[in-house]
Amino acid sequence: MKRLLLFLYFVSTVAQSQTFITESGYVNFLSKASLNEFNGESDQLKGLIDLSQNLLDFYIDLNTLQTGIGLRDKHMRDNYLETDKYPFAEFTGNLSVIPTLISGTKTPVTAIGNFKIHGVEREIEVQGTLSKNADGYLELEGGFDVFLSDYNIEIPKLVFYELAEKQEVTFNAVFKPKK
């Protein structure tokens, strides 16, 4: 009986140590239109990496994105992202290969999954790096492009020179083991 309890404790500890969470990841988007270039950012990315299930799940409240200009933020939320109806962007997917992580080494990874924004969900591929530090935390960095028309986000012709069709999204998050 003692061995069974010890075995169950070991299995639950190993399984649990394969799940990592973040509450304060960083997301940035870059819009490079012909007459205007600007960034929007948030440090409110929430997410989970479960290596035992090969699951990645991230979301961000789009109302936390800030471009540095309050009026532009309001127009972005009200006119384009329509955050009253669609408050979140989410990615759920899997790593194409679960890497062997060596402490202090950034390992290239590819995630394939569904990205949902503005009520539209599409399969995308995300390139990045995954590393493990000496404390056992994971760090994930990466990026992908979002084409607004793919997600039914319309750019009025008057704004076309100020808002790019392609938004370059980058992210960085540190994940602690889930307890």
The domain limits of the chain are 19-177
User: For residue 127, what are the CA distances in angstroms to 87, 96, 173?
Assistant: 25, 10, 14
Give CA–CA dist 19/113, Å, rounded.
18
Kindly state the DSSP code that residue 160 receives in the 8-state scheme: T
Per-residue tens of pLDDT for the chain, all 179 residues: 444 333 333 333 333 458 999 999 999 999 998 888 899 999 999 999 999 999 999 999 999 999 999 999 999 999 999 999 999 999 999 999 988 888 889 999 999 999 999 999 999 999 999 999 989 999 999 999 999 999 999 887 666 557 889 999 999 999 999 98
Greatest extent of the chain over all pairs of C-alpha atoms, in Å: 74
Give the class (CATH, top level) of 19-177: mainly beta
Confidence at residue 35, expressed as pLDDT on a 0 to 100 scale: 82
Kindly state the DSSP code that residue 153 receives in the 8-state scheme: -
Confidence at residue 163, expressed as pLDDT on a 0 to 100 scale: 85
